[in-house]
Each structure stands twice: as C-alpha cells, then as structure tokens.
Structure 1
C-alpha cells in the first residue's frame, strides 16, 4: 500500500475540511490493529457539529469521520476472524486516535471493532449502520440493562452480565464507570415493558426501535409521521406525531397509564424535556424511571428519574464488549434481522464531503443516510 493518501483535514474550528492529497497513510502499531482501504463513508451529524461547536477535536489540525466501510488490506495477528480482502464496516468511536478517522483513503481499526459485511449487503449499506448500532446497543444494553440474549432471530449478548462478571477489565474507565453500573436488578428493562423513542426516524432511533422489538419491548415512537411513518409503522407498537409535543405527551401518558419507566431521546434537550413529562415518577416501588439523551438532557430534572448518556467509548476500550457487539451485528445483518436506513449516495469522493455535510446540516435528507462513495476517486 502507498505511503501517502488523500485525506480531509480540519485546520481550524468553524472552518470547512481541506483536501490534502499528500497525507501520510496511518501505520499499524499493535498486533490488534488492521489497515482498511476506505471505500465508503457514512456521514453523521457529529461530522459538522464537531468543527462548528468544538466537539471531539483533541488537536488541530485533525481528521474526523466516524463511520467507514472498506476492504482489509493488512490483517491483525490477534484475529482469527478477519482476513485480507474481507469487506468490513467500522464504527470509529475512538475519536482521539486520528489514525482511525473515516475521512481518509486508508484507516486503522482494531479487529474487535470491525464487522464483516455479508455478501447480501453493499459496502455503501455497511457505511450506514456502525455508530448508530453501537450507540443504540449500548444505550439499551448497558444504560437500560436490556438483555439481548432474548432477541428473536439472533440472540445477542447480556452486556450487564458481562460487566458484572468482570469481563471488561480495565475497559471500564472512570468516566463511564457509573453509567456502566447504573442498571441492575429492578432497574433493568425487561420484555413486555414500555419504551418511548423520541426521534425514532434518526438512524440511531430506527436501529434502537428494531433492537427493542427483537427483545420483546413495547415501543412508542415519536417522529414526523407524514415524512417517516411508512418505515416506522410496521415496527412500532404506536406511532405518535412529533409536530405537537404537548399532544404527544398526552397520548403517551394515556396509553401507558403510569407504567412508562424508560425513554430514549435522539433529538436534544428540548424534546428530552417533553419525554420526561411522559415518564412515571410516582411509582410506589423504589425503582426509578430512566431517561437517556444522546444530544442533551432536560435543563429541569426530576429527582425520581435517573438520567443517562451512552457510554460509547466502552465499544473501543473493552475488546470483549466491542467484539461481542460486532459479532452480533454480523449475525443480525446475515439473518436480515435489521432493516437498514435508506441511502443517499454521493459520488464525489472526499472532495464532496463539505457539500454533503451542508445538505445534512440543513435537514434536507431527514430519515436518510448520506454515504460518500470513494471507490471511483481513489488513486
């Protein structure tokens, strides 16, 4: 493989990414690492929010990008699962390691964070699902304690049991320790219980909906019904329009009758506040209600609700958790147990990322995943 490559480099905050045609190809540093020729990049909101609001930018200049798919061109000596030539998708959650960023033609990954793409799925499809799956799985499986081993079609891991048995070792760092041990006993969500997903048309929300239904939860989805009702209708137990949030709260409270203890919000602190109003906070038992927000929590909080954020770094700090999740994702894809997001494929290569991010930022592709295809632009 070459010594230099094309990469998108961020030189300053609130600036656009700049294409560098002579950027160094990242080097493998440990037996756990593989080198991937990046063929497709899935764009996420964080890709424009990072430079705009200084989120997850450890240094400047920097290379960003969280979702990539491509071909293994150098394999890990630690892995018996991956081979040179395998098509893989990688959720790049380790944003502090610039070698693992998606906005470049070659990227490093650890073998336990790479999932093989089955023959039935395109590389473009592979680039859409990684980070969303990891975030949804950790939100449900760790923060809410959902046991994925009960999932129909494809049995997954019981992440709480893995954590409780000490299998994660030093992977549970101090900053996520409380979150990783927050849902035990009666706090764990179980099949048959209600779950509300506010922002179910987002990619992470849509994946969370499907994982929840595979595990027997009763799921209420809040979304723009006119725009996204078709894809959600066949999966959700109840679909509520988000355009009148007060009415949505009233409907959810009427349906759940004081039995709703779990809510996921994928929009922001304002919608998380509405979601908070749907939760049961006068439960006679000692078990609290639980609210997780990926983009902010309510500014006014209740002492009867436990608030959560996704312990996303657990995916790369704990090899046992990371590999168990990618193995489950492989099985879910192979068994067609997940419906993947609708695609908007952009053919302009790395040079088209800035334009595509503006489209994403302006909300012109709601409910779809923007994928940058690099294959016709790699030298």
Structure 2
C-alpha cells in the first residue's frame, strides 16, 4: 500500500497545490487521483503565471480570447476557469460520493479587493456562479479585513477557502466568521450546508526564523503552531455552539495544512507531510512533495488532539527571542502583499504573452 493511501485511510485528505493546463492535458492529474489518492486541489496566481511564462500550453487560448476582446484580469479568469472546470469534473465523482465533503478545487478572488468587503463578496459570488461547478471553492484571505467578506459569502451560500492563516488565533477568527455565516443562514431558514476550509500556512514560519534560532529549533516552529491550531480545531468541534450548528445540519469547516513543502534544503522533503498526519484535515502539497511522499514517505502516527509538546516548544522559541504573535501578523501581512505582487506579475505576463503572440501572428509565425 502506498504511503499516500495510508494517509487517506487515516482520514486525512490529500490535495495537490498546483494546476496547469499541461497537468490536465497530459493526464498527470488523473494519474495523481488514481495512484496517489488525491481528492482535490488548490491554485494560486503564481502557479498560473509560471505556467504561462514557461510554456506554450496557454498560447492558443490567449490568442483566441484576445481576438474576442478579452484582456487583463478577464482573460486570466477565462484561462483559470477553463482549467478549474476540467479539474472539478475529474474530482466530481469524489464530490458526489462524499456528498460534497471532498473533491474540491479553488480559485482566488483578486487580492486587489482585499480591503473592500462588498466588492469581495460580490466577486466571490460572481466567480462561483461563472464557474458553473458546485465543487469550486473561492479563496478569500483570512486577514482582519477579510473576515466580514468570509461571513457574508458563507451567508450567501458561496463555498469559501479561507487562506493566509498563520496562527491559532487567526484560525479561530476564521472559524468564528464561518459559524456566524452559518448561524445567519439557519435563522433565515436557509440550508446550513455551505462548505469551507481554513488554510493554515506552515513552512513559512520556519523559513522566517531559520537564521534566528539555535540549530535545535530549526524547522520546528511551524509544526508547533500547527499542533496548537489542531488542538483548537478539535476543541471547537466538541463545544456546544458547534454541536448546535451541526444538529441543524451544518458541516465542519475543515482545517487545511498549506505551505507543506520543505523550504530548508537540509530538511527531509516529507517533513511536514509526515508530521501533519491528522484525521479530518486536508494537506495540500506541491507536486514534488506529493511524489516524494508517495515514494518514501512514512506514516508515523496521527497528531494528538491535545497539542502534544506545542506549548513547551513555542516557549523555547519565545526564550530564543521570537515574538510568536508579532511574527504571525507579519507573515500574514507579507503573504497578502505577496498575493498582490503575484497577481500583478501574472497580469503583466498575460499582457506580454498577448503582445508577443499578436506580433508572431502578424509576422506570419506559428499558430
């Protein structure tokens, strides 16, 4: 039995943190589903931008959409939605078999709308409707400004992937926003089954402190934060408030581990996958990490719901001069800024590609 299947049997769902047209057209995604127990995927502008820059898989579609008057963000969404619809269709059997619990793909709302709640809510609803696939999450950052948009989107019945969470406190805020939205749906007589995941970024913690802590603490901060967050997640599901929502038919907002590829070349390439094995969670991982775990990963047991040694470990980081709370806020701010930068770079690459293809066509080049 493959290590990926063992994780699946443990109760953790494995998603791919990648989507490109080539991945779909060459059958790789389909193979990952059948061979590596992949049951969903996430995407982001950086991935799309790299694919557009480094290959020609999107050239024909860019040329055609440009001829039809599409440009900039509109052109990108056409490309992204085409890919995500195909991926959603590949995962549709899982979605149907699990009655909507699993089998999801994700699309990000423009990060340029992050400070505009109304615009974010409207865009989330528009994109979900435009996709015409029930198993599409819309990604909204779990920043302080994003919480109102998350609550309103859940109330509107739009499935949300809350992204850019870095701490227990940020996760709890996202969970509260989700539950408020569900509460309001119940009071309004609406179906409380609106899917959501809360994405906690892990390895970026360790990258941020790699040169600031003793060797004994290397690559241990992200996992300690994850353990503490998992404890809060498990505790929330036992509390009266959640039980009341569940009794009304609501489903848990599942905790998703993001940023699980090892960024330290000295670390094991399966470090975060092995350490984050936990029932009723999701691990979305890069292709390289997925293949590595499928080849030589080891299931060392599940995370404990009591947080293990997380508190003691975080105490050691505090003693080493790391302000955990301040760093969580900084990582989220940096992440939000990186999203904006990636988005702008993506649109620039699409514009450059559109121009180069037009010149090539005008000059009688290849089509």
TM-score, length-scaled by structure 2: 0.29
Structure with more of its chain in strand, by fraction: 1
Structure with more of its chain in helix, by fraction: 2
